[in-house]
Every structure is written in structure tokens, then in C-alpha cells.
């Protein structure tokens, strides 16, 4: 008989990321916050356009918000997921890493001056980016587990 998997979550590695619309909105907020912070920093430091991360963060935020809107428009039930393909997933995960590193650098530079908004705000943003990255890595690892077939041969943990 065919493999039976009572878990409704897809186990294909080719699917990429699967998020609820609400999670998608929160993740887009992480990208948007990092974009707004780093855009100002990159302009002030006069970074060359090809080295700027802010525009890529903004593009990913827009992608996620569009996917969220599409999922919400298609909802017949409350569990319509947002799916990102593997390339989009890899891009989002890489951007989370880069954003966290640059936000930490920005916080370090802000600690050296007397600013109205101190460095902790930017460290918190970096922490949020790392937390999302860890959560999404954990989800991908869970999805990589093979499902059991009816006889208990594949993936049986007896």
C-alpha cells in the first residue's frame, strides 16, 4: 500500500517554506523593520548600491505581504498556508542572516554616540531575525523526516 501520513503538513523538501498568513505578516514585519533601519544606515555610510541590503530586504517584505494577501483572499477555512518555493526560502533565510549581522553592526556603531534611539532597539531587531531563522530551520528539519508507511517500514522509530 501507499505511504500513509496523518500529518497534513507536506514533507517534500521541494516545497520550501510553509507559513500561515499571520506568520507571513509577522515575518514580513521583521524584513520591513530591518529594511527601514538599514536603509538609513546604508545611505548615511554612502555604501555602493550593489552592497546595500535594504532594497533586498524590502523586496522580500513585499513578496511576503503579497503572498499573505493572496492567501487571505483565498481563505475558505482558516488554515490556508503561504508557500514559498525553495529558491524564495533560501533567499529569505540568507537575508535573515545578513540582516541580523548588519543590525548588530549598526547597534555597535550607535552605542558609540549619543542618540535618541539607543543600540538596544537594533539588537532586538537582530535577535528577532535570528529567532525567525532558527524557527524556520527547525521547521525545515521537521519536514525532512520521512513519513511511515502502513507497515511501519519507512521512518519507523520502534
All domains in the chain, ordered by first residue: 15-143 (1.20.120)
Helix 21-44 and helix 86-111: axis angle, to 10°?
50
**pLDDT, position 14:** 59
Cβ count near 72 (within 10 Å): 14
Residue with cell 509577522: 26
What pLDDT sits at residue 91? 93
Q: How many residues does the chain have?
A: 158
| pLDDT tens sequence across 76-92 | 655 678 888 889 989 99
Which has the closest alpha carbon to 91: 49, 66, 58, 47? 58
Ranges of the chain whose pLDDT falls below 70: 1-15, 75-79, 116, 144-158
**Which grid cell sits at 110?**
550607535
Handedness of CA 54, 65, 96, 56 (dihedral sign): negative
User: Model confidence over 136-147: pLDDT tens digits?
Assistant: 988 877 776 555
pTM of the model: 0.71
Confidence at residue 76, expressed as pLDDT on a 0 to 100 scale: 61
Q: What is the model's pLDDT at position 109?
A: 86
Identify the CA nearest to 64 among candidates 86, 42, 38, 89.
89
Amino acid at each position: 500500500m501507499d505511504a500513509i501520513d496523518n500529518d497534513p503538513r507536506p514533507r517534500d523538501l521541494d516545497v520550501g517554506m510553509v507559513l500561515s498568513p499571520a506568520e507571513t505578516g509577522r515575518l514580513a514585519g521583521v524584513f520591513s523593520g530591518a529594511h527601514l533601519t538599514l536603509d538609513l544606515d546604508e545611505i548615511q555610510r554612502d555604501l555602493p548600491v550593489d552592497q546595500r541590503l535594504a532594497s533586498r530586504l524590502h523586496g522580500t517584505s513585499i513578496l511576503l505581504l503579497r503572498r499573505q494577501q493572496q492567501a487571505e483572499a483565498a481563505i475558505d477555512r482558516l488554515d490556508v498556508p503561504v508557500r514559498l518555493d525553495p529558491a524564495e526560502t533560501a533567499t529569505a533565510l540568507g537575508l535573515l542572516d545578513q540582516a541580523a549581522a548588519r543590525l548588530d553592526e549598526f547597534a555597535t556603531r550607535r552605542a558609540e554616540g549619543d542618540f535618541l534611539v539607543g543600540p538596544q532597539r537594533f539588537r532586538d531587531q537582530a535577535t528577532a531575525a535570528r529567532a525567525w531563522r532558527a524557527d524556520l530551520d527547525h521547521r525545515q528539519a521537521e519536514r525532512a523526516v520521512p513519513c511511515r508507511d502502513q507497515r511501519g517500514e519507512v521512518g519507523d522509530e520502534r
